[in-house]
Amino acid sequence: MIKLITVIGARPQFIKAAVVSRYIRDYHSSDIKEIIVHTGQHYDANMSDIFFDQMDIPKPDYFLGINGMGHGAMTGQMIEKIETVLLQEKPDWVLVYGDTNSTLAGALAAKKLHIKLAHVEAGLRSFNMEMPEEINRILTDRISDILFCPTDQAIKNLKKEGYQNINAKIIKSGDVMQDAALYYATKSQSPNIEVPPNFILCTIHRAENTDNLNKLQSIFSALSEISKQHQIILPIHPRTKTIILKNNIKFDKSSIHIIEPVGYLEMIYLLKNCNYVMTDSGGLQKEAFFFEKKCLTLRDETEWVELVQNSFNIIVGSNKDKIIEGNNELQQLTPNFKIDLYGLGMAGKNIIKELLQY
């Protein structure tokens, strides 16, 4: 029996871990014992608890309660507390997801204790070293024993960085987020709001947008313009909400409907029913594709380049004119959504198979 510690802490990690955790419970409960460590990076009811409830993720075995501080203090305290758990539990594997401070802390704590490390969502690159996520993912990849890559591009990125000469196994697993989207598609729940016809589903939370007031104002000014055509529903990330309120960012409140963050099942409902998506989220760009919706990405680059190459997604950054121009261009695109970019829901199975065979 393998003892596996899963380290998670932020919203997208709950969604990704739900897939693998369910696969273990359904098919390999006698082969793998999973212990869940929740760092506490996201901890409020609507950023954390709701995902554990809706997605049947087992209650974390350890809750470290670390949040709301700078990168250094947060990552440092996480490493210290995760190390204590690892020394106590002595797992065979540590499994980390994505690119947050919880990912990096879990990776460093494991590797320094010579515990095998697996990284889900390995090989992604934005090539923007100002993104904290880019730093976290590069460092985590470099010390992982198995790199579970969601896409061909992720594998290419690792090869370009010389990973064929590093003693690590590179596996194309597919993307666990597609597993989640397929599994929960029929379980979607309407959020408790009035949903306008043909609305745009929008989220904004990347530090590069929220921490630069000019960019944030420019985005909201573009949204106000675009919302004259299609009203916008915007479940707001707590960080973005704080900054908007503090700085009195202006936008058209009659056609941009800001709501509290919703659960995953409500998000699926909004994805199914929207006209298209505008976001700076990583995960939501792909979810738009899973539900056959086009996406305008409010960043200067994306890790999910296959979406852009196949005309599902246009990168527009944060400049008002560029966003409006891109929005017009998006209306003209008629891509064929019936292609396999992310593994068609087999990622959870592939990940567990590899861990068992290693």
Does 237 qualify as catalytic in the annotation? Answer: no
34 vs 179, which CB is nearer to ligand UDP?
A: 179
Out of 42, 119, 205, 230, pick the active-site residue. Answer: 205
32 vs 67, which CB is nearer to ligand UDP?
A: 67
193 vs 249, which CB is nearer to ligand UDP?
A: 193
Shortest Å, Cβ 220 to ligand UDP: 18
Shortest Å, Cβ 265 to ligand UDP: 8
Query: Please, what's the largest Cα pairwise distance for the chain?
Result: 58
Is 37 within 8 Å of 7 (Cβ atoms)?
Answer: yes
**Does the protein bind ligand UDP through residue 12 (CB under 6 A)?**
yes
**Does the protein bind ligand UDP through residue 191 (CB under 6 A)?**
no
252 vs 260, which CB is nearer to ligand UDP?
A: 260
Q: Cα separation of 105 and 77, whole Å?
A: 9
**Does the protein bind ligand UDP through residue 11 (CB under 6 A)?**
yes
Residues 53-112 that bind ligand UDP (CB under 6 A): none
34 vs 175, which CB is nearer to ligand UDP?
A: 175
Q: Please count the residues of this chain forming the interface with ligand UDP, following the rule CB under 6 A.
A: 15
Residues 255-314 that bind ligand UDP (CB under 6 A): 261-262, 264, 267, 281-284, 287
At residue 86, the 3 state secondary structure works out as helix
CA separation (Å) from 51 to 11, 56, 202, 263? 8, 8, 20, 6
22 vs 116, which CB is nearer to ligand UDP?
A: 22
Shortest Å, Cβ 211 to ligand UDP: 15
List CB contacts of 172: < 8 A, sequence separation 6 or more.
149, 150, 151, 152, 154, 155, 343
Shortest Å, Cβ 262 to ligand UDP: 4
- Listed residue (324, 293, 326) closest to 307, CA to CA: 293
- Count of Cβ atoms closer than 10 Å to residue 22 Cβ: 18
Shortest Å, Cβ 139 to ligand UDP: 17
**Given candidates 101, 126, 140, 203, which one binds ligand UDP under the rule CB under 6 A?**
203
Mark 220-249 with x for binding to ligand UDP (rule: CB under 6 A) and - for no binding.
---------------x--------------
Q: Cα separation of 323 and 329, whole Å?
A: 10
Shortest Å, Cβ 305 to ligand UDP: 16
Q: Taking contact as CB under 6 A, which single stretch among the options 8-16, 220-228, 288-296, 331-339 is the one that binds ligand UDP?
A: 8-16
Give long-range contacts, CB 8 A cutoff, 24+ apart: 287-293. 287/177, 287/181, 288/312, 288/313, 289/313, 289/337, 289/341, 289/342, 290/177, 290/178, 290/181, 290/182, 290/342, 291/181, 291/185, 292/337, 293/201
CA separation (Å) from 293 to 188, 267, 307, 314? 16, 13, 11, 12
SS3 assignment for 15-40: HHHHHHHHHHHHHCCCCEEEEEEECC
Residues belonging to the active site: 205
What residue ranges bind ligand UDP (CB under 6 A)? 11-12, 15, 203, 205, 235, 261-262, 264, 267, 281-284, 287
